[in-house]
């Protein structure tokens, strides 16, 4: 099977992801909004779009050893309140998304809420972030960035006792607003 080729920044890139099936349709370079006809990356022009209320909710988990989980749950980790610090880090990260993701627009967030759920049975912590704004572009990347950095902060604060922690299931749960309207993940 021949691997599809895309021309990006003047060079050829071979990737099984380019031209792959997504649902029942093939995603082509012309359908990817961050690339022009020549395959050059650019920031999408949202100047003509209408401002609408937008929300996005994302989540992810970090799995750890039972002893590490006890430190987090009990608030007795050597570096301090792991969940509290992770919450602040997640909120801060959501506000800096456009500095981290090259083609992401800077947006005026109106609300960021970050929650953590501790699961004693699986020794995992789930981070859920909800971002909101009234603007011309969505807040999915901000919610996903918040989750990633929240989990990464937990890893950082606990790595001295557990370097084997694993971050999993990071994904968008739902988004609403804008031209594409409402979207909800198929499985929760």
Catalytic positions, written as ranges: 156
| Of residues 114, 118, 113, 115, the one with CA closest to residue 62 | 118
Give the separation between CA 31 and CA 13, rounded to whole angstroms.
17
Give the separation between CA 130 and CA 133, rounded to whole angstroms.
10
As a whole number of Å, the end-to-end CA separation of the chain is 35
Place of tokens 């370079």: 29
The torsion angles phi and psi of 106, rounded to 5 degrees, stand at -70, 130
Give the separation between CA 115 and CA 9, rounded to whole angstroms.
40
């Amino acid at each position: 099977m021949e691997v599809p080729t895309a021309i990006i920044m003047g060079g050829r890139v071979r990737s099984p992801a380019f031209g792959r099936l997504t649902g029942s349709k093939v995603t082509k370079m012309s359908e990817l909004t961050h690339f022009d006809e020549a395959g050059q990356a650019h920031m999408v022009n949202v100047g003509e779009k209408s401002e609408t209320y937008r929300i996005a909710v994302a989540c992810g988990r970090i799995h750890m050893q039972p002893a590490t989980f006890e430190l987090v749950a009990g608030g007795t980790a050597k570096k301090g309140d792991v969940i509290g610090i992770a919450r602040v880090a997640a909120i801060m990260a959501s506000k800096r998304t456009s500095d981290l993701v090259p083609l992401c627009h800077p947006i005026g967030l109106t609300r960021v809420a970050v929650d953590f759920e501790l699961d004693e049975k699986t020794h995992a912590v789930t981070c859920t972030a909800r971002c909101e704004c009234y603007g011309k572009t969505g807040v999915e990347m901000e919610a996903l960035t918040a989750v990633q950095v929240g989990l990464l902060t937990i890893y950082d604060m606990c790595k001295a006792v557990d370097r084997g922690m694993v971050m999993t299931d990071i994904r968008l749960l739902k988004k609403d607003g804008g031209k594409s309207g409402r979207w909800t993940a198929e499985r929760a």
